Amino acid sequence: MKKQQTPPAFTHSLANLVNKIDTTVHSEAVGTVMSFGDGVVKVKGLDDVQSGELIDLGKEQFGLALNLEKDSTGIVVLGDAGHLSAGTTVKRTGRILSIGAADSILGRVVDALGQAVDGKEEIHVDKYMLMEKKAPGIMPRKSVSVPMQTGIKAIDAMIPIGRGQRELIIGDRSTGKTAVALGTILNQADQDVICVYVCIGQKASSLAQTIQVLEDRGAMSYTTIVAATASSTAAEQFLAPYAGQSIAEYFLEKGKDVLIIFDDLTKHAQAYREISLLLRRPSGREAYPGDVFYLHSRLLERACRLNDENGGGSVTALPIIETQANDVSAYIPTNVISITDGQIYLEADLFNSGMKPAINVGLSVSRVGSAAQRKAMKQVAGTMKLDLAQFRELQAFAQFSSDLDDKTKAILDRGEHVNAILKQGWDAPLKMEEQVIVIYAAVKGYLDGVAIENMQKWESEYVTFMYSSYPQILESIAKEQKIIESTEEELQSAIKAFNDTHPDLVPVVEE
Amino acid sequence: MKTTTITVIATSALELTKVQVETISTAVKKKYDVSSVTIEKVVNPALIGGIKLTINSVEFDGTVQGKLAKIRSQLLNQL
């Protein structure tokens, strides 16, 4: 009777599902909880457990085995394990921590375990990627040869980053570190680069804002966000960068270029310190455990550029470090500085004096990126570095004496203009060719007559003018990747033409 | 055969009969190659039915509760 009442298709599919279920009894390795507190579980038993193995704590909660001792195992809880008490049994799963990745993960916000946290549909996993994986060795690698355009003039011109490089962004709180990273994500819109933004210990409100910005600007279509906010457990914050890196590697395996941002590794180190202290591991300098260097080096070593036999993809890492009172010689900053291939140094003083992005060009370096810099950019940036260096040298002197010879005055004036042209809104990235024509005008002295406060206006009107009247110059630079002679002549006359028609911005010099 | 003892914690929903204890004891003796088996009986009605053996830190869960949990997790996986 009842069978007739329910639709046969439903009973059929239900029967199919139930038939597939395997309920045979297997031996399972179990352990008994001895103590549980502060997110750390001590377990007796659990024979043959592996380090880094997932432990089933029951009620759909999992833990991570981190400390293996003679007769107990230290497990950190991922998520909430309020149901645990002394005597509860926990089980081995035999699974080493991994994260499910798929192409559809782009545009999504996931937590450190790969679960969607943006309230949209479930992500259908295509492949499980190991979170802890050995970095590619020497043979599959290739040196950096393609630039990672950040769209920020100061960086692309003087601290160029190549795809596959690790460039640290370091600075005090609120100096625009995240802004530099987000600006870079926005600039990847037409560059065929996939972005992964890993948020570690940030305020949920700032993360929500970041997601909003990326969504409004259409950048979420090629971006995945791994979120471990300040309210996540220390274990989740500790795992988030590895999770993000695994997602990046999923795309790397497909030969894609990936940009990954770790925002920020200071909080990551602090989360790891918390776990280590609770696990009673011996502590060292600043109470960090002994392997805190390895914690970051094994993560950042996974950034790479692979050769063509291995797919030719790349992972560019932009870790962020927050310093206290400009102290770059603290433990974690020095560690990460030595691991990365250069750093972008942001300063609060510059930021407060209105220099945005607040990049200290003198202290920032890129150790490998110049190999990937485009010829056109090299042509204009060489003079710029010199101009700025001379400017900085003389700037100190200029404050003492008011009488300066004409040559010094000219250098100071040029330096000030070049400095001013580097100012840029973080959400207004410029294409390579746009940067080249702007910097060209500044270093060749076409801007010396422009008042400093009008520089931004000059720049935006100039770029619009070039697109409408001389698009062939921009096309030529974009195509040739350098300024060829004929283009240079054309560019010079174009700048002159623009300056002559804008007397409000460029006052006519009276002879 | 080694002259060793092994302790088995047998948890069931209902009190085990003598025959059942004997069967478990023989099976464990055979599997673990030991001469004597001590069985600690625990009764837990929450298991609904079946029996769960815990030997050192290895567990064999043949209870109805365990089977239901397996069905649940596998069904969720298939969805």
**Taking CB atoms and an 8 Å limit, are B60 and A25 in contact across chains?**
yes
Give the residue numbers spanning the domain of A362: 100-373
Spatial contact of A341 and A322, defined as CB atoms under 8 Å apart: no
Reply yes or no on whether the pLDDT at A24 is more than 90: no
Spatial contact of A55 and A65, defined as CB atoms under 8 Å apart: yes
Residue A49's CATH number: 2.40.30.20
pLDDT of residue A486: 92
Mean pLDDT taken over chain A: 90
For range A314-328, the mean pLDDT: 95
Query: Do residues A355 and A381 share a domain?
Result: no
Q: Which of B54, B57, B71 sits opposite A47 (nearest CB)?
A: B57
For range A477-485, the mean pLDDT: 91
A414 as an active site residue: the answer is no
Q: Which of A21, A22, A31 sits opposite B57 (nearest CB)?
A: A31
Count CA atoms closer than 13 A to A408's CA, side-chain side.
13
Considering the domain boundaries, does residue A381 fall inside one?
Answer: yes
For range A465-491, the mean pLDDT: 92
Q: Which of B57, B61, B75 sits opposite A25 (nearest CB)?
A: B61
Of A141, A305, A367, A374, which is the active-site residue? A367
A409: Cα separation from own chain's centroid: 40
**Taking CB atoms and an 8 Å limit, are A30 and B58 in contact across chains?**
yes
Residue A473's CATH number: 1.20.150.20
Spatial contact of A234 and A299, defined as CB atoms under 8 Å apart: no
The residue with greater pLDDT, B2 or A396, is A396
How many structural domains does chain A have? 3
The last residue of a domain, from among A40, A70, A95 = A95
Reply yes or no on whether the pLDDT at A401 is more than 70: no
- Residue in B with minimal Cα distance to A26: B60
pLDDT of residue B79: 66
Residue A181's CATH number: 3.40.50.300
The residue with greater pLDDT, B56 or A342, is A342
For range A308-321, the mean pLDDT: 95
The last residue of a domain, from among A308, A340, A373 = A373
| H and E: helices and strands count for chain B | 2, 4
pLDDT of residue A5: 64
Token pair of A90 as six digits: 């926990």
pLDDT band of residue A269 (cuts 50, 70, 90) is very high
Residue-wise pLDDT tens digits, A415-440: 889 989 999 998 899 999 999 999 99
For range A21-26, the mean pLDDT: 81
Query: Do residues A330 and A213 share a domain?
Result: yes
| H and E: helices and strands count for chain A | 16, 17
Residue-wise pLDDT tens digits, A145-170: 999 999 999 999 999 999 999 999 99
**Taking CB atoms and an 8 Å limit, are B56 and A45 in contact across chains?**
yes
Look at residues A306, A316, A337 and name the one whose alpha carbon lies nearest to residue A181: A316
Coil, helix or strand at residue A45: strand
Spatial contact of A106 and A315, defined as CB atoms under 8 Å apart: no
β-strands B36-43, B5-12 pairing: parallel
Considering the domain boundaries, does residue A269 fall inside one?
Answer: yes
Query: Do residues A114 and A236 share a domain?
Result: yes
Percentage of chain A lying above the pLDDT 70 cut = 97
pLDDT band of residue A408 (cuts 50, 70, 90) is confident
Query: Do residues A455 and A479 share a domain?
Result: yes
Coil, helix or strand at residue A202: coil
| HEC string for A213-271 | HHHHCCCHHHEEEEEECCCCCHHHHHHHHHHHHHHHHHHHCCCCEEEEEEECHHHHHHH
Which residues of B lie inside 8 Å of A (Cβ-Cβ)? 54, 56-62, 67, 70-71, 74-75, 78
Residue-wise pLDDT tens digits, A89-127: 899 988 888 899 999 999 999 999 898 999 999 899 999
Reply yes or no on whether the pLDDT at A2 is more than 70: no
Q: How far is the alpha carbon of A282 from chain B, nearest alpha carbon, in Å? A: 29
Spatial contact of B46 and B19, defined as CB atoms under 8 Å apart: no
- Using an 8 Å CB-CB cutoff, list chain A residues near B71: 18, 21, 23
A9: Cα separation from own chain's centroid: 50
The last residue of a domain, from among A95, A120, A145 = A95
Considering the domain boundaries, does residue A449 fall inside one?
Answer: yes
DSSP string, A365-410: EESSGGGG--HHHHHHHHHHHHHHHHHHHHHHHHTT-S---HHHHH
pLDDT of residue A79: 82
